[in-house]
Amino acid sequence: MGPINVNQFVDRELLRGVSIGFYDPVVQDQAQAMAGVMPNIISLPYGKSPPLHLQTTSWRHLLKLMARLSGTRIEPTAQATQRNEDLHLRTVIQFVRPHYNSSTWRTIIWFTINQDAERPHLRRSSNPSGDVESLPYSYSLMKLPALLRDGSDSLLSKTYTIPSTHSVPYPVLPISFPNLTLYLQAALDESRRYFNDSSSGMRKFAKMLEHCYPDEFDSGAGANERSRVTGLFKKVIGRGGKSSKKGRGGNEETYDLVTPFVPDEWG
């Protein structure tokens, strides 16, 4: 008997409207059943390669799904690991509508390996907000996915490139989906802290969520809950001191901390 794929126990309704892969996603009004199965291991290449996308019906749906996919992780390809250095994940968040007459926004997350070290004459900004408007350097080496080619926000699309900050640095690969959920929530929490600061690009993520998913923005966690998630993310990246409580697995604690912000619509 082969090993059990724990992803097979995920509610099929959670996989409705989901797509994942190194191809251009199709954005539709009606959420369709996921084609294929959710992989256990996703190998991310270094170099000229399309980004990995993960599409869900909403931001809340994304967090709920990833928190439950304990059997899935993103790791570098065998060729990428030959670089003998830490490889970091770069993440671009996109909210997109199927067409102008649609009131529905879909959530698409794009993933690549950070390749800024390869960029000629790299300029390191002293601005803590980083560059949230430009795509990571790795995207200049590839044929851009159709949904990212406009290069700026529009009535149909809004994007945010998660920067590296002291509190929320780029995650080191490999990383499990539950831990990646913590990273995404920590990035949103940091953006919320800049919400009333018009001089900072960091607030854009929170503003995007407020515009595209106002119900989800209003139901976000309070300051104490957000602090707990950021603290757990720091544990994941090795900055949090003591490990999780004895007798509790990381996935269980991740689920407990993430789900307060994402009311269960799937039972």
Higher pLDDT, 142 or 226: 142
Q: Which residue, 129, 255, 121, is CA-closest to 181?
A: 255
For residue 91, being part of any structural domain is answered with yes
For residue 267, being part of any structural domain is answered with no
pLDDT higher than threshold 80 for residue 128: no
| pLDDT classification of 217: cutoffs 50, 70, 90 | confident
What residues contact residue 151 under an 8 Å CB cut-off, 6+ apart? none
Please compute the mean of the pLDDT values over residues 115-130 and round it to a whole number.
60
Strand, coil or helix: what is 175? strand
8-12, 17-21, 61-65, 93-97: range with lowest mean pLDDT: 8-12
For residue 1, being part of any structural domain is answered with no
For residue 62, being part of any structural domain is answered with yes
Owning domain of residue 253: 6-261
59-114 pLDDT per residue, tens: 999 999 999 999 999 999 999 999 989 999 999 999 999 999 999 999 999 999 99
pLDDT of residue 195: 92
For residue 266, being part of any structural domain is answered with no
Interior/surface letters 146-161, b for 16+ CB within 10 angstroms, e for the rest = ebbeeeeeeebbbbbb
Give the separation between CA 103 and CA 214, rounded to whole angstroms.
12
For residue 115, being part of any structural domain is answered with yes
Q: What is the pTM of this model?
A: 0.81
What percentage of residues in the chain have a pLDDT greater than 70? 74
Report the domain count for the chain.
1
36-52 pLDDT per residue, tens: 889 999 999 998 899 99
| pLDDT classification of 204: cutoffs 50, 70, 90 | very high
Element (H, E) at 54: strand 52-56
pLDDT of residue 116: 83
62-71, 92-101, 118-127, 195-204: range with lowest mean pLDDT: 118-127
